A = this chain, B = another copy of it.
Amino acid sequence: MRLEEIQQAAVGLFAQKGYAATGIRELGRAAGINSATLYHYAGGKEEILSGVMRTCLEQLLRSAIDATSSSADPGIQLARLVRGHVGLCALNPLTAKVTDQEIRALGSRDQEALIGMRDDYESVFAKVIERGARTGVFQLTDLRIARLALLEMCNGVANWYRPDGRLDVTEVQDRFVEFACRLVGISVVSREESGDLPPIRLACEPVPVHLRGQNMGAAG
The minimal Cβ–Cβ distance linking A143 to chain B, given in whole angstroms, is 11
> Taking the complex as formed, is A175 at the interface, i.e. its CB lies under 8 A from any CB of chain B?
yes
- The interface centre, meaning the residue of A18, A153, A160, A183 with most chain B CB atoms within 10 A of its CB, is A153
- The stretch that binds B, out of A27-35, A69-77, A144-152, is A144-152
Integer count of this chain's copies in the complex: 4
In the bound assembly, the distance between CA atoms of A20 and B149 in angstroms comes to 28
Smallest CB gap from A182: residue in B = B182
Interface of A is mostly: helix
Nearest-neighbour CB distance to chain B for A156, whole angstroms, equals: 2
Whether B159 pairs with A145 at a CB distance below 8 angstroms is no
| Chain A contact residues, CB within 8 Å of chain B | 16-21, 101, 104-105, 141-142, 145-146, 148-153, 155-157, 159-160, 167, 171-172, 175-176, 178-179, 182-183, 185
